[in-house]
Every structure is written in C-alpha cells, then in structure tokens.
Amino acid sequence: MKAQALHGHLDALLLAVLEGGAQHGYAIIEALKERSGGTLTLPTGTIYPALRRLERAGYVESSWSTVNGRERRTYQLTDAGHRALSSERSSWQEFSSTVGRFLGATATPPATPA
C-alpha cells in the first residue's frame, strides 16, 4: 500500500503503534508492516517527518537512547497523544461505519415505481 493512500490516517496509525510503548523509528516501521500483514511498507522518508510533526503537535515526545551500542531516537506518546488517539479511533469508527453503508455490502437496488 502506498503512503499516499494513507493520507489523513498515517498519524493515527503511528499513535496506535506507540500506544504499546516507546519505540525507535525502525521498530515503528516494522510494527506497521507486521500489524498490517505486510501491506504497509512505508519508507523512512514518510515515517520520520510524520513523527516530527506529531512531536511538534505535542502528541509524541522523543529522547535519545542506546540500543545495541547505537544511538537511536525513541518516541513515546504523551498524555495529549493518548487523547488524540482516542479521538482518532472515534472518528475512524464513524467514518468506517458510514462508508461501510455504501461499500460494505451489496446494496439493494431502489424499488421501481409500479
């Protein structure tokens, strides 16, 4: 799946991945890939700018850590990020339900006048 197809949803996906705890960028990319069954294979050039945007918005905070002798920036949700994720989930449920009424099942054709 291409990053462009996720327009408007990437931030929510990143928040959801970070809900499980702090992770560094590569682990976030791998979590997206794993949780999507391999459908989401997004490049670093998509993920890191989105993480910086979330950090500027106050939804994510980052810190440097050493993992296996390598310095990595680790990201975690803030309280505002948890609230934003909750809001995103509610919005997604409403959107998904509404679109599902059109695309989820075969629609019954309108009755023809007698």
Domain ranges of the chain: 3-88
Rounded to whole angstroms, the Cα distance separating 16 from 26 reads: 15
State the pLDDT at residue 5. 65
* Residue 93 CB burial class (10 angstroms; 0-12, 13-18, ≥19): exposed
Tokens of 1: 């799946």
Q: What is the DSSP letter of 6?
A: G
User: pTM for this structure?
Assistant: 0.83
What tens digit of pLDDT does each residue of 45-84 get?
Answer: 999 999 999 999 999 999 998 878 989 999 999 999 999 9
Please state which CATH class domain 3-88 belongs to.
mainly alpha
CA 113 vs. chain centroid, Å, equals: 46
